[in-house]
């Protein structure tokens, strides 16, 4: 058995002449590589890199960053009234833009600064900033003639219900003509003020005027309907709305469930960029809009496509084309180049299909906003 094992092993290690030559060549090459790897570094000295200049440059750069001033504008102190100062004035005093927003939001909601210490109510305002500014605060009393009387001259004060008061009577209270018209228009569209604070939803409402009149606002409650017999009375009323998206203003849009002043402005702004809505589902492209919110009022809106503002692809330049939300610079440039190749004029809109960047979905979205005249 042992003899059989050695015989098998001998057959296994028995190489052909060519195979033996190959193994020998590999061994020779391996030995040569090992020798070169051992002695070449001694024969050819490697040059060492000097990293000192780079380290010095990096250290100088870090030192420069540490010396960059934190404020980009020069802070100056002056006497001011926090009830009337604008955002630029607060920033010039050294108040951070985030705290400036908090101050303006506080005033917009009816807040009034009655003493310098009231500035401490502002969230995030640093004590060091307050200490520097408190001696510069000059608040004009609201009950005396002065700033308030100049803002609202010949003003009468009386108890009123904003749901019933006429525009002339609102003007007597100190509301500007535009604001009074907006209030009446909001009511005529079906809107109603359920709380005093609802007046602040009116665009460009004077928060200081609202604060001075808040105690005189008396909203009469409507008789309650039987909840069991008319549980869906409010939703039913909202379903009766029919708002055309391409002509509605922000007050019209705020009648829709879930649409406040911010959303209404974004809808109107995006409509301007598009040139008008082709279908109501385009509202889902407005920042912040989701399917849940959209489905709540989708049945109350419709679109008139006859007033869409179209782009003439025979005359528009690249700058004009890229203003459209569906168009980017590369596509606009390809359109202008293709127009030059065709002698400076398109005869049909579908000639744009020759542009490979204009895939089917994008073409269908752009097609209603283009014309060739």
CATH code of residue 248: 1.10.150.320
Q: Is 102 in the same domain as 137?
A: yes
Angstrom distance (rounded) from CA 240 to CA 266: 24
Higher-confidence residue: 14 or 102? 102
**Which helix (DSSP H) or strand (DSSP E) does residue 302 occupy?**
strand 301-302
Q: Is 339 in the same domain as 360?
A: yes
108 assigned to some structural domain: yes
Contact 295, 256 (CB under 8 A): no
What are the φ/ψ torsions at residue 80 (nearest 5 degrees)?
-150, 155
Going by pLDDT thresholds of 50, 70 and 90, the confidence category of residue 71 is very low
Per-residue confidence (pLDDT) for residue 240, from 0 to 100: 72
User: What is the rounded end-to-end Cα distance, in angstroms, of the chain?
Assistant: 101
pLDDT more than 90, % of the chain: 7
DSSP class of residue 370 equals: E
270 assigned to some structural domain: yes
The pLDDT of 121-133, averaged and rounded, is 82
What would the pLDDT profile of 6-29 be if each residue is shown by its tens digit?
666 555 566 667 777 888 899 999
Domain end marker among 307, 327, 362: 307
Higher-confidence residue: 237 or 49? 49
Per-residue confidence (pLDDT) for residue 312, from 0 to 100: 92
pLDDT for residue 63 is more than 90: no
What would the pLDDT profile of 262-283 be if each residue is shown by its tens digit?
889 999 999 999 999 998 899 9
342 assigned to some structural domain: yes
116 assigned to some structural domain: yes
Going by pLDDT thresholds of 50, 70 and 90, the confidence category of residue 48 is low
Per-residue confidence (pLDDT) for residue 146, from 0 to 100: 43
In angstroms and rounded to an integer, the radius of gyration of the C-alpha atoms of the chain is 38
Q: Is 273 in the same domain as 294?
A: yes
Angstrom distance (rounded) from CA 356 to CA 372: 20
Contact 294, 263 (CB under 8 A): no
pLDDT for residue 194 is more than 60: yes
pLDDT for residue 153 is more than 50: no
pLDDT for residue 236 is more than 50: no
How many structural domains are present in the chain? 4
Going by pLDDT thresholds of 50, 70 and 90, the confidence category of residue 365 is confident
Per-residue confidence (pLDDT) for residue 223, from 0 to 100: 59
Going by pLDDT thresholds of 50, 70 and 90, the confidence category of residue 231 is very low
Angstrom distance (rounded) from CA 139 to CA 60: 49
36 assigned to some structural domain: no
If we measure between CA atoms, which residue out of 271, 267, 361, 247 comes closest to residue 325? Answer: 271
Q: Quote the mean pLDDT of the chain.
A: 80
Contact 88, 145 (CB under 8 A): no
* CATH code of the domain in which 185 resides: 1.10.150
365 assigned to some structural domain: yes
**Which helix (DSSP H) or strand (DSSP E) does residue 312 occupy?**
strand 311-312
The pLDDT of 144-153, averaged and rounded, is 42
Q: Which structural domain range is residue 132 located in?
A: 87-142
How far lies 23's CA from each of 27, 28, 34, 270, 314, in Å? 6, 9, 17, 77, 76
Per-residue confidence (pLDDT) for residue 214, from 0 to 100: 87
112 assigned to some structural domain: yes
How far lies 220's CA from each of 163, 201, 226, 235, in Å? 9, 19, 19, 22
Domain end marker among 266, 292, 307: 307
What would the pLDDT profile of 209-229 be if each residue is shown by its tens digit?
888 888 888 887 765 554 444
Which of 153-162, 317-326, 332-341 is least confident? 153-162
Domain end marker among 262, 286, 307: 307
pLDDT for residue 34 is more than 80: yes
Angstrom distance (rounded) from CA 261 to CA 342: 47
Q: Is 295 in the same domain as 242?
A: yes
Going by pLDDT thresholds of 50, 70 and 90, the confidence category of residue 105 is confident
302 assigned to some structural domain: yes
């Amino acid at each position: 058995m042992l003899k059989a094992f050695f015989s098998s092993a001998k057959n296994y290690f028995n190489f052909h002449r060519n195979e033996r030559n190959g193994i020998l060549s590999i061994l020779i090459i391996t030995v040569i590589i090992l020798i070169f790897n051992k002695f070449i570094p001694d024969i050819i000295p490697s040059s060492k890199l000097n990293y000192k200049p780079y380290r010095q440059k990096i250290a100088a750069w870090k030192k420069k960053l540490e010396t960059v001033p934190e404020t980009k504008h020069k802070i100056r102190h002056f006497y001011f009234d926090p009830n009337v100062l604008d955002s630029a004035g607060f920033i010039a005093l050294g108040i951070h833009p985030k705290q400036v927003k908090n101050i303006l939001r506080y005033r917009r909601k009816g807040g009034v600064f009655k003493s310098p210490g009231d500035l401490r109510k502002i969230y995030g305002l640093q004590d060091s900033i307050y200490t520097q500014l408190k001696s510069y605060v000059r608040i004009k009393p609201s009950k005396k003639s002065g700033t308030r009387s100049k803002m609202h001259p010949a003003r009468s004060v009386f108890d009123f219900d904003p749901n019933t008061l006429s525009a002339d009577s609102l003007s007597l209270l100190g509301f500007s003509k535009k604001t009074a018209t907006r209030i009446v228009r909001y009511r005529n569209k079906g809107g109603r003020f359920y709380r005093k604070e609802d007046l602040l939803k009116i665009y460009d409402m004077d928060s200081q005027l609202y604060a001075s009149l808040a105690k005189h606002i008396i909203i009469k409650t409507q008789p309650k309907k039987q909840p069991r017999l008319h549980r869906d009375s409010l939703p039913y009323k909202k379903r009766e709305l029919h708002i055309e998206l391409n002509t509605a203003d922000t007050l019209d849009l705020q009648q829709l469930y879930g649409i406040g002043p911010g959303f209404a402005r974004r809808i109107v702004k995006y409509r301007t960029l598009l040139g008008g809505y082709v279908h109501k589902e385009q509202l889902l492209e407005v920042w912040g809009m989701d399917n849940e919110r959209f489905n709540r009022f989708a049945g109350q809106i419709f679109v008139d496509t006859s007033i869409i503002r179209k782009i003439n692809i025979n005359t528009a330049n690249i700058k004009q084309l890229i203003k459209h939300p569906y168009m980017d610079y590369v596509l606009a440039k390809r359109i202008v180049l293709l127009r030059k190749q065709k002698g400076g004029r398109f005869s049909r809109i579908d000639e744009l299909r020759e542009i490979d960047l204009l895939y089917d979905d994008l073409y269908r979205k752009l097609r209603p906003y283009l014309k060739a005249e």
